[in-house]
Structure 1
Amino acid sequence: MSAAPGWSTLQRVIFPPESGVDTMSLYADAGPATGVRFKESDEFARNPKPVEQKLHLVGSNTREVHVDDLLSRQSVRVRSGEQLSLGTYFNAFPASYWRRWTHLRDIRLVVETSGRGSVTVYKSNARGTIQRVDGARVEDDARTEFELSIKPFGDGGWYWFDLASSGGDLVLKEARWEGPPPVRTGETVTIQITTMDKPDFCLANVRTLAGHPEALELAREVLIVDQGSRKVADQPGFAEVAALLGPKLRVIDQANLGGSGGFARGMYESVENGSDYVLLLDDDVVMEPESIMRMMAFSGSCKSPTIVGGHMFDLYSRSTLYSMGETIDSRRFSPGQPHRDMQMRHDFSVSNLRQTPWLHRRFDVDYNGWWMCMIPTSVIRQVGLPLPLFIKWDDSEYGLRARAAGFRTVSLPGAALWHIS
C-alpha cells in the first residue's frame, strides 16, 4: 500500500516479529481504548521516593492479543466479538512532537481492512485525557480514511485507533499515518555501528537490516567501525549477510579509540560520502528497523536541521522503557531523565500508554544517547566532530554544543531499540 499523490507515509502500523512476541504490549492491546487504571499505593503517599513507588490494579483485563492472530509485520486478525487497540508505544501517533518540531498541521489515517466491524479514532492531551474523535463501520474489503488536525497538540497528546469485529473476524491488512510530502526529499543516511568484540550482536543487526529493504533503501552505506580483536568480518555468516547488502556494506578496522572515536569516524565518513544524515548505533542492541523510516520521515519534515534520537528499552525486560531522552542538570552538571517517573523506568506490560498520563506529555531534551541517534551532516559540518570523552559525556557534550549553535535534539516516541541497560 503506497501513499496517494500529495501524501507521504509518516508512520506505518506494525506488529512484532515472531521472535519478539514478548514485546506485544508495545504494539497492540486487547480491549477498548481506556482499559484498566492504576493508582499509587498508600505507602507511596506517605513516603514518596521513586524507588518505593508501587502500583495496584484497580480494574481487571485478562484478555491478551492472540499470538497466532499476527498475520505479518503489518497485518493482524481481530476475532469475532473482540476489540484491539493500537493506542500503544509503537502504533499511536505522537502528534505533539510533529506539531512542535515540523511544518505539519494536518495528517491522515488510512486503514485497510477485510471483514465486518468498526474503526474508532481517539486522541489524548498532555494530561492523558482520552477523547473519541471519529469512527466508521467497515465491511468486506474496505479502505477507510480519516482527516485529522494536529493543531491542538501544543504540549502533548497522541492519536490512535481501535478495531472491533462483529459477525466474524476482522482483518487489519495495513494501516499508516500520512502527511504532506517532506520539505526535503530523496535524502540518504549512513547507518553506522561502532563495535568492539561484540561481533554476534553487530552481525545480527546487519542481518536485520538486510531483511527490511524499506529501511535499507534509505541507506547510502551501512558502515561498521570495528575496534575490537574479534572481527565482525571473521564471523560465520558474515559473507552471506555481506552478499545481501552488497556495496552498501563497508567495514573499517581501527584501533580502539573508545565510543567517541568510533562514532567520530562514522560521522566523518558520512560527511565525506555525501549522506544527509548519520545514524549512530551501539553494537549491543536489538533494532526495531521501522524506527529508521520514522526518524527519516520526521527529520525531512522538521522546520530546521534537527538531531533526532530514539528511545531505549531494556534488552532483558523488553516491555520496559529505560530512557526516553536525556537532560543535563546544570547545577550539578549530571545527566538525568526528562521526567521524574523515568527514574524507576516504565513497564508497558504493567501500565500501557493509555493508562499512564505522564507519557502523554511532550518531553524536550538536551541530548539523546548514541545508542540510536541521527545527526544531520549539515550539523556536523558546522559543529564539528565529538570530543574524545570516554565512556560518558561524548553524546551529552555534543548535544549541548549543537544546541548552543542553534540545533535542537528531539527524542522521538515510536523510534526505539532494545539495549543492555
Structure 2
Amino acid sequence: MPTMKFANIILEANQRSVSYPDLYCRSDQPVIFDDHEGEWAMYRAGLYDFNTYFNSLSVMKLRRYTRSTGYTLHLELRGADCTVTQTMGDAFAVHPIPVNEVEFHVAASDTWQGLDIPLKVKDDMVLIGFNIETQGRVYIRNGYYALDYEGDERPVELALATTTFKKESYITHNIGLVRRKIVESGEDIADHFHMYVIDNGRTLDAPALASERIQIIPNDNVGGAGGFTRGMLAAMDQKPRATNILLMDDDVDVSPESIKRTYNLLRILKPGYEKAMISGAMLNYEVGEDQWEDIGYMTPEGTFSPCKPGLRLVLFEDLIYNELFKPNKVMKANLYAAWWYCCIPLSVIDKNGLPLPFFVRSDDAEYGMRCKTPFITMNGLCIWHMSFHERYNAAVERYQTTRNTMIAKATTGVARRSDFMHELHNNIRLELKKFGYQNAELCLDAFEDFLKGPGFFSQIGKAEETFLRANRVKEQLVDFDQLQRQLDADPETKGLRLNQIDRQLIDGDKPRTTLERLEDYVTDNGQRYLKTEGKGYAVIPLLGWVYPAGAIRGKNKLIVLDWYNRKGAVRVKDPERYARIKKRYARDLRYYRANIKRISRDYAHDRARLTSQGFWRKYLKMD
C-alpha cells in the first residue's frame, strides 16, 4: 500500500509563534529554536504536548474525505531520556487523552534517533497527536505524519493566485515565503506548483520577484474579482493545465505548511470530494490564536455571516468543535468559502463559469453559492488576516455590498431566500438615524446602479470608475489632529478633548424607555414628523452596523471615530437633507416595483456572457 508524507510537525521562529506558542506546542517548559540544522530544544525536563492546532492530525476528516487507511508519526530525537505517547481527542475532550497502547521510551543519546510510530485510530477519534515527556533537554527535528492510502495518487497541478494593489510589504514577504518553503523545498509540491501574482497596481518589480514558478502579471485595476479571474485564466492556460487553483488575499500572513497540506489533501481525495472547495480559516492578524471564520453563509436577512462562533485555537475543546461543526439547514442553503484562502478545482470553474465582474465584495460568496460544491475545512489550513472592524470602508460596505448582492441574486439566482431589499432599507435607515447622509446616499447610488441593468456594471472600466467614485463621495475622515482643530473651532464641541476619550466612551450606549424607543422609531431620531433640532453631541464608533441608539438620541452632532486608525468626522443633524434622501429612496422604490421583473430577466439572460472566458479575456484586455 502506498505511503505519503502528509503534514510536517512545525515549530516556527517568528513573532506569531513566540506570541502564541500553544498553536504549536503546549508545554510547562520553554521550547527554543536552535538554528543548527533546523532543530528545536525542549529545554528542560517536562511535558510537551503537540496535539495542537498545527501539529495534531485531523483523522476524522481524513477518513471522511480521503482514501487514507493508516497513520504513522515520524520523529527524530536526541538528548535525555524521554517517552513519546500518542494522544487523542473525541467529541467531548477538553484536553488531549493519552492512548497508552502507543507509548515509546527513547533512551538518552547524543546522536539522532529516528522513530516511526504506527498510530492507533478508532471511530470516535476526532484528532490524534502526541506528547513527549522528557527527563532533561531533548532536541527534535524532521517530524511529520505519514499516511497509507488506497488506490493511486491523483495527479495534481496546484496554482496559487493572489491579487495585489500597492501592498508591496505584504506581497513581497509572501512571495519570499513561497519561494523558500515551497518552490525550493525539494518536496513533491515543488514540481507541481505555480504562483501567479496579479499586480493590479503595476508597482511590483517583476524581474526581481519572478522565477520559473512565480509569475508577476501586470494588470489593470479590476479589483479582487478581476484579479482572481485573471489568475484562473492563467491556471487554465499554463502547461500542464492546473487541476486546482488556490485563491489567497495579498494582505495576509500565510503559513506555507497550509499550502503543502492542501496539495497533499488533493492528492488522495475520495472521488466524492474531488470537486470540493477547500476553505482555509481566517485567523485574527492581531490576536493570532483567534479564528474568525472558515466557511460562511448568506443569512435570510441578506447579510454575510460566519457559520461558526469565534474560536480560540489554543483551547483543545475549540479544536474539537472546529472539526465536528456541521452547518444547519439554513446555512447549507447558502454556503460559501471566502477567497482569503480558497482552493477550487478547475473542473468546477469549467462547469460553472468564471466569477462576476464585481471589482470587490460578494464575488467569493456568490461563486461559492453558485457552484454548490462540498466544502472541506481542517485545523491547520489557514491565513492570518486583518479583522474587518479595523478596515471598515463605507465605499465597500454601503456601495459595493449593496449593489453586488442584488446583482448576484438576479444574475445567477443565488441566495433566493435572502432579502437584500430588507438589508438596503435597514442600512439606509441606520445611516440616517446616525446622520450618515453621505453613506445613505451611497446605498442609493448602489441601488440605482443595480437598476440600470447588466449592461452598465459590466462595461470595461466601469467597475473601477464606480468604486473610485464611491470612495470620493463617502464620508471623508480626517486624522485626530485635524479633527481636534475642527472640534476646537465649534463652540458646541470646544471642550471635547480627543486625548481624554477612551473606548469605553466610544463603544458605550445609554438605556431608552419604551416611549423613547417608539419616538425614535417614528421620527428617525427627530428628523420626520415631530422634528427636533437636537442638542449637544455624542461620540460613537465609525462601524456602519453599530447602533448606539441611546447615546445618539436627541443630539445635534455626532463625533464618529475610527479609533484603530486614529481618524474621525463630525456629523451634523440635517432634517432637510434627510427629507431629500427619503424622497429619492421613495422614487427609486417606485421604479424598482415597476421594473424589477424586466431587470431580473435581463441579468439572468446575461449570465452566460458575464461568466464566459470570452467576456473576461476581452474585459481584462487579454485578447
Task: Return the letter of the residue paired with 1:83.
Answer: L
Partners of 1:16 and 1:73 within 8 A in 2: no
Q: CA offset at residue 319 of structure 1?
A: 2.4
Distance in 2 separating the partners of 1:150 and 1:337: 31
Alignment partner, residue 145 of structure 1: 116
Alignment partner, residue 228 of structure 1: 201
Q: CA offset at residue 172 of structure 1?
A: 1.6
Q: CA offset at residue 255 of structure 1?
A: 1.8
**1:11-26 aligned within 5 A:** 11-20=7-16, 21-26=18-23
Task: Return the letter of the residue paired with 1:217.
Answer: A
| Range moving further from structure 2, 287-296 or 365-374 | 365-374
Partners of 1:260 and 1:394 within 8 A in 2: yes
How big is each residue's C-alpha offset from its partner over 1:343-377, in whole Å with a ceiling of 9 and x where there is no partner?
A: xxx344xx532576534524567322101111111
Partners of 2:88 and 2:128 within 8 A in 1: yes
How big is each residue's C-alpha offset from its partner over 1:285-325, in whole Å with a ceiling of 9 and x where there is no partner?
A: 11101111100111121113221121111112222222222
**1:221-370 aligned within 5 A:** 221-228=194-201, 231-233=203-205, 239-242=207-210, 246-273=211-238, 274-304=241-271, 305=274, 306-329=276-299, 331-339=300-308, 341-342=309-310, 346-348=311-313, 351-353=314-316, 358-363=321-326, 366-370=335-339
Partners of 2:252 and 2:384 within 8 A in 1: yes
How big is each residue's C-alpha offset from its partner over 1:170-194, in whole Å with a ceiling of 9 and x where there is no partner?
A: 2222211111258434522111110
Alignment partner, residue 83 of structure 2: 118
Distance in 1 separating the partners of 2:131 and 2:382: 23
Quick one: which of 365, 371, 374 aligns to 1:408? 374
Quick one: which of 33, 40, 47 aligns to 1:76? 40
1:189 equivalent to 2:158? Answer: yes
Alignment partner, residue 131 of structure 1: 97
1:29 equivalent to 2:26? Answer: yes
Higher-RCO chain (CA-CA 8 Å, sequence separation at least 6): 1
| Range moving further from structure 2, 5-14 or 214-223 | 214-223
| Range moving further from structure 2, 83-92 or 73-82 | 73-82
Distance in 2 separating the partners of 1:357 and 1:250: 39
Task: Return the letter of the residue paired with 1:24.
Answer: P
Alignment partner, residue 202 of structure 1: 171
Q: CA offset at residue 85 of structure 1?
A: 0.9
Per residue, is there more helix in 1 or in 2? 2
Distance in 2 separating the partners of 1:121 and 1:15: 19
Q: TM-score, normalised by structure 2?
A: 0.54
Distance in 1 separating the partners of 2:91 and 2:357: 39
Partners of 1:279 and 1:372 within 8 A in 2: yes
Gapped regions of structure 2 (runs ≥ 5): 388-623
Task: Return the letter of the residue paired with 1:251.
Answer: I
Distance in 2 separating the partners of 1:269 and 1:143: 43
Task: Return the letter of the residue paired with 1:408.
Answer: P
1:355–1:377 Cα change, 3 Å: closer
Gapped regions of structure 1 (runs ≥ 5): 32-62
Quick one: which of 376, 380, 383 aligns to 2:345? 376
Partners of 2:293 and 2:307 within 8 A in 1: no
Distance in 1 separating the partners of 2:45 and 2:72: 27
1:381–1:92 Cα change, 3 Å: same
1:277–1:122 Cα change, 3 Å: same
Alignment partner, residue 462 of structure 2: none
Alignment partner, residue 60 of structure 1: none
How big is each residue's C-alpha offset from its partner over 1:174-217, in whole Å with a ceiling of 9 and x where there is no partner?
A: 21111125843452211111011212211111111122123771
Distance in 1 separating the partners of 2:290 and 2:37: 21
Other structure's SS at 1:392 match: coil
Distance in 2 separating the partners of 1:384 and 1:402: 9
Q: CA offset at residue 8 of structure 1?
A: 0.4
Partners of 1:368 and 1:411 within 8 A in 2: no
Other structure's SS at 1:275 match: coil
Distance in 2 separating the partners of 1:208 and 1:85: 27
Distance in 1 separating the partners of 2:191 and 2:339: 20
Q: TM-score, normalised by structure 1?
A: 0.79
1:85 equivalent to 2:81? Answer: no
Other structure's SS at 2:197 match: strand
Q: CA offset at residue 77 of structure 1?
A: 1.5
Other structure's SS at 2:377 match: strand
Partners of 1:114 and 1:142 within 8 A in 2: yes
1:360–1:381 Cα change, 3 Å: closer
Partners of 1:126 and 1:360 within 8 A in 2: no
Partners of 2:246 and 2:342 within 8 A in 1: yes
**1:171-190 aligned within 5 A:** 171-180=139-148, 183-190=152-159
Alignment partner, residue 105 of structure 1: 69
Other structure's SS at 1:99 match: helix
Q: CA offset at residue 92 of structure 1?
A: 0.8
1:409–1:354 Cα change, 3 Å: closer
How big is each residue's C-alpha offset from its partner over 1:37-87, in whole Å with a ceiling of 9 and x where there is no partner?
A: xxxxxxxxxxxxxxxxxxxxxxxxxx5x34x34557963222342111111
Partners of 1:224 and 1:251 within 8 A in 2: yes
Per residue, is there more strand in 1 or in 2? 1
Distance in 2 separating the partners of 1:165 and 1:142: 15
Alignment partner, residue 170 of structure 1: 138
1:202–1:69 Cα change, 3 Å: closer
| Range moving further from structure 2, 213-222 or 185-194 | 213-222
Alignment partner, residue 49 of structure 1: none
Partners of 1:10 and 1:294 within 8 A in 2: yes
Alignment partner, residue 616 of structure 2: none
Residue correspondences, number: 363
How big is each residue's C-alpha offset from its partner over 1:87-124, in whole Å with a ceiling of 9 and x where there is no partner?
A: 11111111122122112232222222113201011111
Aligned-residue CA RMSD in angstroms? Answer: 2.5
